[in-house]
Structure 1
Amino acid sequence: MNNEMTSHDPLSNDDGFWGLLLGKKYDKIPESERTLENLVSEFYIGRTKRTDSRFESIDDLLAELEDQSPDSAQRILLTIWAEEKWAQKSSGSNGFRVETNFEDELRRLEQEGLFVEELADGFTLVWPSKEVRVTTREGNRVRSRLFEQAHPLFVREDGAGEIEVRGAKNRIKKFSKTFTDSDGVNRIERSQTTQHVIDGLASIFDDEIEALTLTEVEFQRTYLPDGSSLSLSNPTGVRNDLNSDAVFQELVDLQSLSELSHLGFNHNKTGKKVELKVERQETGFYFEIKDRYLPESEKEAIQLLIEDKLGISFDNIYPYDVQLRDSYIFHQILTGAVDTYNRYFDDLPDEERSLLNKFIEVAEIDTFECYRCHEVYEEEEPEECEECEGDSFKEDIQREVSIDDEAIHEAALESLKETSATLSDNGINFLNVSIDAYETKNNGYIRATFQEVASAGKEANTHRYEYINYCLGNGRLPRRINQYLLNSVLVVYGKAYLNGRENFGTIDLHDLLITDSPEDLFVSAVRNSTSQFRNRIIGRAGEAFERLQDLHQRGAAGEFDDLSQEERKELKGDYDYNKFERDVFYLLKFMFLFTERWGREGETETDGCLVIPEDEGYFIASYDPKLTYTKKGYDLDAGEKNKAAWYMVTENLGGALSVSLSDNENLDAHLFVSNNFREGQFPYVASRVQEWFEQSENVEKGDIPVAFLPLESLLSLYDIFDRHYDPIIEYPSVKTAFRKAFIEKIRNGEDGYSVVDTDACDAVEERVLQALKGTTRNRTLKDHTE
């Protein structure tokens, strides 16, 4: 062995190659120590058995590498690396049959733009790539450039014309489309079967599978009021809980196996996780196994064991009509699934077919497929194919199923209108329930207003609600609902039903149209929406915090100081005023639940309304976020001063905020929020506001503060609230301390304005910590380990 090998040898000096093999480990090796011996030693760790099966020792591997050219040596190492990655990927049904020369097909892939590396032992690496935009620092500037990002697919030929591909599902899908363009390549497809699998799957309730412990089970729908999904997980096993009285029959039963999503097992021999997933498509469902990191020798044995014990086959597709409820097929057809319609529609009960006929239109189109090149023409048979000049065509009829979303909206509206004006649910009454249509420029909604009255003994509390409900099928949820965090119930059908919708109350369209009690579905959905509402806020606030923190850090680092007009325009294209306004709203909503976002297009109104409960009444403030990419800061010119004063005067005189203001009560403050203020303008803005008040009649005179909330302070307040989230939510005294401290910092300014700076935020946290002292447990909890 040559112990004089240095880091300047061609093989050891290839940073990109060793970065691929070792990942972050390579970055931790000092450049002076990147000799071939050290790099191979690092590569050998964790691959001992795999390497020693080819080379008896690491010394033999090093000797072989030194005897080879750099390219051949890399091929040896890549083969070991690929074999390891192959074992880490799940085996599955990504098989292809190649009737032509495999090497020729690989050359074709290269011509299509894919990078191909042939290795030893039948392995081939195929690297699909895509352009991604990456933001990098270049000297004193930050730039965003396009790079080709590549991820590997691991291809292995068995020598008999069949190959298997492992890797990410989305990349395999793209690879498959290109690979099967050849007449000599066909994907090995699953076959349709009429086998009933429910009885076999029922064994999960009572039979142990040898060598496997059932640790996870998930049903996508249950017998809960809204049909919510159910997941059970326990590393020691879930069978006892699955069979408990609280779950079996109450939430799921044998019929619920048609709603099974996945099963998770622990492989007792290796301790590795094995997952059985149910994948659904138009014509039926099939099973896929996720067996990453299992030794290759164990994978086939486990597949055969699961097939035998559960009575399933990984090679089959199981039609829905043999296994599933009619409602599932109803929603499949409402996705526009032609194959499902062709296969099952005529066999559905009369009620389902009658409903579907109101919402779908089936068009039949004559098609003509060229026998030579398979080009398809519609409506009229051409005399000659434009692609290959062939003159022989296969005639067929193609169906298209279109969905009438407006008809669904009208049907749902009419059903919900049958809801009584007075409802009751577990001691809570819903009074003056009104349901009507609500139209905006882009969407139609179903608006529900009601008063919720909770009472106990002599005490009662009333709260008015407005729910903006939406029929969600195969499209996207309107941005308005999430960007304004509206109270909403979703009437789901088609893809929305099949995929589920987290953190919303939902009503199944099928159930709504056949029920005699739509009010029960509505009340249940409202209950679920209320309980999940804070989860909607938490997720969006967390994402908003990351975006705003990035904006603040980049500004603090001086990235926006010397931008050209074109660069500033590009930044606004990526993150504009509306996105800044949205993210500020998410953070305020997270901390102060009654906050509302306004700022509708074409309306002269403040961007938002901050409403914070106090001992008696509310602290109510309008607020406006201001984004700037200039070094000087946002210019609060005369127009902005006048707008702030206009908001405060008009809202006090009966604008939208008047519903929260008592008679003769002033708006408490107006907040500006910006990532960069011009602090010298603060006194003039406050002065202008007071001038408006002095000139306005019917408004009680007094100091109405203008508050300036820098983005850094908003982020600090969010961080305080997030770090102390549990006690703030659970202890009224801590929540009150946070609110009072924040309000005081707005009110206790000088010269008509206040600045909520980082010192003010520190004072807010100090008040929170003081309040927390009164919540500390003085007793020791029982030690359950005894």
Structure 2
Amino acid sequence: MPQQVTIPTVFDDPEFWYKIDVDYEEARRLVQTEEDEDDSTLGEDSQSETDTDEEDSEDSEGPESFGGALLEVFIRRKKRVIEDKYGSVNEFKQRVLTADDDDARRLLNEVYVEYIWIQNQEGEVFESDDDDPTELDLVDDEENLVQETINDEFDLLWPGQPTIGKEVDDGEIVARRYLQTKPVVVRKYEESFEVRGRQSDRKKVVTRLRSDDNLQEQQPEPAEEPIVGKVENLLVEDNEEFRVVGVDFAESELPENSRLRVKNERSIYRDIHSLRNENLVSFDGISEVNKLYLKDIRHGGKFRVELTHGVDGVEFELKTNHKLDEQRSRFKQGFTAVTGIEFEKIYEYGSQDEEYLFNRILAERGTAYENYYEELSDEVQDVLEGNVDTTGNALIGTEVEEFKTCSQCSEKNPASESECEECGAEDFSESVEETVVEVNETSVATYIQNRLDEISPTHPKRDFSGWNVGDRKMGDRKIVETSFSLTDSEGRRTTSSYQEVDVVPHGNHPRPGTVNDYLLQCVYVTYGQSASADDEGYGRLPLYDIITADSLDALIGNALHNAIVGVKDRLISKASEAHEETGEYYGLVDELGPMHENKDELEEIYDPSNDSYFEKHLFYLLKRLYSQTERWGRIGEREADGVLIVPEEDPSDYYVATYDAKLSHREGGYDLGSEEEDQATRYILTEDEREAIENKTGDDGLSAHLLISQNFDEDDFSRIAGHVQENILTYTDGEAPNQKLVFMEFRAVVELYELLNEYWWALRDARIRGKFDSYVIDELNNEQTVDGESFVHFDSDSVANVRENLIGRLERYDRDQLEYYPE
């Protein structure tokens, strides 16, 4: 009778397998079908120790079969590691199945840790003062980390408690902590060790190691030789070691300085040559290049090299997963042999990278100031120091302060603090002196204002006139405001309009919410941390260009053009979101019935206690219909919520109406009392509104005031209209008002927006759009008289009349007769 092989007990330990990323239950399912076919009782926990010898004999094959299934799941994606260590997968499986329990666990752990090792990017390297780094104690007693020594070469550091947390329901494990966590791997060498793992997991370990006085982190060495020519040669010359198949540029010479990725599996040399000839990319410095994608010609495989830009310079880092250390080392050697560029070195920036260095300094990086301020040109330094007439005061200031770093969270704290302001810990590094850079945002805005005051913007498709520059406060920051008349000429159509565009210093602060909430036309001046910000939907103007450009006229003109076009793109998105929300709201209204009986459900969308959301959606819909519409209603100001501006058929005339949004779910409709009457009177008569409207349209005439609500009581209309007229007669000594009072249903605004979307293809034709606008104005002027009082009620019937007239107009044209005139 053949000798029976004893299977290691590790195959009966689910926790061990879950820890090395093997689903124990999945392996069991792999053999279940075969067990069912053989009518086997292998692995059943119900068997007692008194089972027959025959049953024991059957059981002896069970664990081996199940063990094979566990190994099959384990070796997935680990073939490269296994073959490198053991020559073949079968050899490894045989060793595990015939080993004792301790050796089986060791074999599995060693493959697992090396697989995790090659999965991750190269990490931090530390040198140790200990004579034997293989005996490292990397975890304090108080830390929530579990250290597991695999062998003399590898340790694992697990986040979590020493045991694997699990939940068991009816005998089945339903939650396992280690399925959600990944260990950090420590590889020990003769005098140092390296830490690899996911960044989120590795951060805590690295912070702990950096606070240990017995450990020193290896830092890249400074390189003295220039780097620019080497990068240029790499991207334009072929070689026998590898092929460059891609490059990422942080910015390009395209009109918007867009980021650019050039990628082609065959090679990119000809594409780069073409881009350089067209002056679309530059190799004047190294700050523009972010990533290189390469293919190893000799040995196969793809690699990515990232250029990490820091305050000290740029470092080339190999970023590649699933590569053995031998493969990584071989690639590095080949890369250095061909290019002369070494890894683990810092290459300083040169004068060619002035814009990048300028923005690092204005990002308030003290080290960048210390290292590179003198590299900036005299022209740039003079502006920063306030030595030119247009600056007034210096744009930046510096001082030296003492800091210490928290050993727990790495947050910097003033030297005088006894505990960390971030985490409350009391353990710090030694205090060090650092240069602190502070940007004077007001001086930046003043400099921008003075520079814009000197220029006359130009653009190939637009004519600017009446250029005016001023300033105002937006929140607590100073911004520059510009106004001008704009003439567009496209084909047979010439249009003129009054425009206001805000020029907002972006700098190191978030964008002000006011710009997006009010859909203002805006140019962001970028510098410091905002230098690489995505400005889609806005104009963009680098502060560095304002300082160094020979002529600003075309630069400013292009930024203003992008601000005007960009707000339309933002508007389309905002109006679409508003329409989707109103669709859900009116779906509930139609389904549930009376508003006052279903307030709880309706107020989950539009809540009268916080009506700014409703007012914002109303504004987006109106502005999508008529782009000159503005949102007013600024906090602390006694002004209408907004102004609706509809062009009339005569290009010099406009229908202009202030409006107020009224949201309510009360029975009997919105409570239109004396306060609303006084507001309507004030908005019709106030000179402030007249001045703002005159700036916008060239006409100080107000056509109407609109009250817009989703819940009117029509019986109130004549009363309100009568009281408003009485108030006006009182304030004007009996002079009858020319302005109308309009009660506009919110649902009608939504329906008018839907009509615009339905016939967008026709409304692009100026002839059709002009008639459409006139039909809307006709309905806004369609007064009715009740109890002797006149007012306008713009409702769904009004929109139906506009639709009927529009369709009638369209019947006069074939579709191919309609012409598109760009806005």
Under a length normalisation based on structure 2, what TM-score does the superposition of the two structures give?
Answer: 0.66
Q: 1:113: which partner in 2?
A: 144
- SS of residue matched to 2:531: helix
Report the CA distance shift for 1:431/1:286 in structure 2 as closer, same or farther (over 3 A). Answer: same
1:410-429 per-residue CA deviation (whole Å, 9 max, x = no partner) reads 22222221124xx5432532
Please report how far the alpha carbon of residue 270 of structure 1 lies from its aligned counterpart in structure 2 after TM superposition: 10
**Is the Cα contact below 8 Å between 1:471 and 1:491 reproduced in 2?**
yes
Residue 337 (structure 2) aligned to one of 308, 311, 331: 308
Q: Output the CA distance in 1 between the equivalents of 2:743 and 2:143.
A: 66
Please identify the structure whose Cα radius of gyration is greater: 2
Describe the superposition over 1:677-710 as per-residue Cα deviations: whole angstroms up to 9, x where unpaired. xx6x554566665555665664458783421349
Distance in 2 between residues matched to 1:563 and 1:39, nearest whole Å: 59
1:223 Cα shift? 4.0
CA contact (8 A) 1:198 1:258 kept: no
Alpha-carbon distance between aligned partners in 2 of 1:709 and 1:62, rounded to the nearest angstrom: 76
- 1:602 to 1:433, Cα distance in 2 relative to 1, 3 A: same
Q: 2:48 maps to which residue?
A: none
- CA change 1:236–1:173 in 2 (3 A) is same
Q: Write the mapping of 1:119-518 to structure 2, written as runs, cut at 5 A.
A: 122=154, 124-127=156-159, 152=182, 154-160=184-190, 162-169=192-199, 172-208=202-238, 210=240, 212-224=242-254, 227-234=257-264, 236-244=266-274, 247-248=276-277, 250-265=279-294, 274-293=303-322, 298-321=327-350, 324-358=352-386, 359-365=395-401, 398-420=434-456, 423-426=457-460, 428-455=462-489, 460-497=494-531, 501-515=535-549, 517-518=551-552
The residue type equivalent to 2:362 in the other structure is L
Q: 1:569 to 1:694 in 2, by over 3 A?
A: closer
Structure 1 unmatched runs, 5+? 3-8, 130-146, 370-374, 380-386, 674-678, 778-786
Contact map agreement 1:116 1:127 (CA 8 A) in 2: no
CA contact (8 A) 1:94 1:188 kept: yes
- Counterpart residue number, 1:638: 671
Q: Identical aligned pairs, as a percentage?
A: 20
Q: Which runs of 5+ in 2 are unaligned?
A: 6-11, 37-42, 45-65, 162-176, 387-394, 406-411, 417-424, 730-735, 787-791, 818-823
Determine the C-alpha separation between the residues in 1 that align with 2:476 and 2:753: 36
2:683 is matched with which residue?
650
Aligned-pair CA distance for 1:406? 2.1
Post-superposition shift, 1:489?
1.8
Q: Counterpart amino acid of 1:232?
A: V
Q: Give the distance between the partners of 1:195 and 1:634, measured in 2 at CA.
A: 80
Against the structure 1 CA distance between its residues 748 and 377, is the aligned structure 2 distance closer, same or farther, given a 3 Å change threshold? Answer: closer
SS of the residue corresponding to residue 321 of structure 2 reads coil
Q: What do the CA deviations read for 1:330-384 (whole angstroms, capped 9, x no partner)?
A: 3322222222222233454433333332333232457999xxxxx99969xxxxx
Distance 1:481-1:388 versus aligned 2 partners, 3 A rule: closer
For the residues of structure 2 that align with 1:389 and 1:93, how far apart are their CA atoms? 25
Q: 1:639, CA displacement in angstroms? A: 5.0
Q: Residues 612-631 of structure 1: matches in 2 within 5 Å?
A: none
Give yes or no for the alignment of 1:94 onto 2:124.
Answer: yes
Change in CA separation of 1:410 and 1:634 when aligned onto 2, cut-off 3 Å: farther
Assess, with a 3 A threshold, how the Cα gap between structure 1 residues 44 and 636 changes in structure 2: closer, same or farther.
Answer: farther
Return closer, same or farther for 1:652/1:185 CA change in 2, 3 Å cut-off.
Answer: same
Structure 1 pair 452–258 and aligned structure 2 pair: CA distance change class (3 A): same
Q: Secondary structure at the match of 2:746?
A: strand
Per the TM alignment, residue 445 of structure 1 is displaced from its structure 2 partner at its CA by 1.0
**What's the CA shift for 1:599?**
2.3
Q: Contact 2:655–2:703 at 8 Å: present in 1 too?
A: no
Root-mean-square deviation (Å): 6.3
Distance 1:454 1:332 in 2: 39
SS of the residue aligned with 1:485? Answer: coil
Partner Cα distance (2:271, 2:277) in 1: 9
C-alpha change, 1:166 and 1:728, in structure 2 (3 Å) is: farther
Per-residue CA deviation, residues 203-233 of structure 1 (Å, 9 max, x unaligned), is 2442235575544333334445665544434
1-structure distance, mates of 2:134, 2:663: 57
Deviation larger for 60-69 or 348-357 = 60-69
Following the alignment from structure 1 to structure 2, what is the Cα–Cα distance between the partners of residues 488 and 532? 9
- Stretch deviating more after TM superposition (615-624 or 352-361): 615-624
Q: Is the 8 Å Cα contact of residues 629 and 645 (structure 2) preserved in structure 1?
A: yes
SS in structure 1 opposite 2:636?
coil
Query: Of 672, 675, 681, which aligns to 2:709?
Result: 672
Q: Secondary structure in 1 aligned to 2:509? A: coil
The CA deviation at 1:191 is 1.6
Contact 2:366 2:434 in 1 (8 A): no
Aligned-pair distance for 1:513?
3.1
Which amino acid in the other structure matches residue 707 of structure 1?
E
Instruction: Give the direction of change, closer, same or farther, for the CA distance of 1:669–1:403 in structure 2 (3 Å limit).
Output: closer
> What SS does structure 2 have at the residue aligned with 1:704?
strand
Going from structure 1 to structure 2, the CA distance change for 1:231 and 1:464 (only over 3 Å counts) comes to farther
1:706 paired residue number: 744
Matched to 1:708, the amino acid is F
Q: In 1, Cα distance between the equivalents of 2:586 and 2:206?
A: 44
Give, as a single letter, the amino acid of the residue that structure 1 aligns with 2:14: L
Q: Which amino acid in structure 2 is aligned with residue 192 of structure 1?
A: P
The count of corresponding residues between Structure 1 and Structure 2 is 704
* CA deviation after TM superposition for structure 1 residue 496, in Å: 2.3
Offset at 1:434? 0.8
Structure 1 window deviating more from structure 2 (277-286 vs 203-212): it is: 203-212
Letter of the structure 1 residue corresponding to residue 143 of structure 2 = E
CA distance change for structure 1 residues 512 and 549 in 2, over 3 Å: closer, same or farther?
Answer: same
Q: Distance in 1 between the 2:782 and 2:467 partners?
A: 43
What is the Cα deviation at residue 743 of structure 1? 10
Distance 1:737 1:563 in 2: 40
Q: 1:615 to 1:331 in 2, by over 3 A?
A: same
Offset from partner CA, 1:146-172 (integer Å, 9 cap, x none) = x99976453231454544344454654
Q: Kindly indicate whether the alpha-carbon contact (under 8 Å) linking 1:645 and 1:689 is maintained by their aligned counterparts in 2.
A: no
SS at match of 1:283: coil
Residue 468 of structure 1 contacts residue 489 of structure 1 at CA under 8 Å; is this kept in 2? yes
**Could you tell me which amino acid in structure 1 is paired with residue 142 of structure 2?**
Q
Measured at CA, do residues 641 and 395 of structure 1 come closer, stay the same or move farther in structure 2, by a change above 3 Å? closer
Distance 1:568 1:500, change over 3 A: closer
- What is the deviation of 1:638? 1.4
The 3-state SS of whatever aligns with 1:277 is: strand
Partners of 1:530 and 1:297 in 2: CA distance:
56
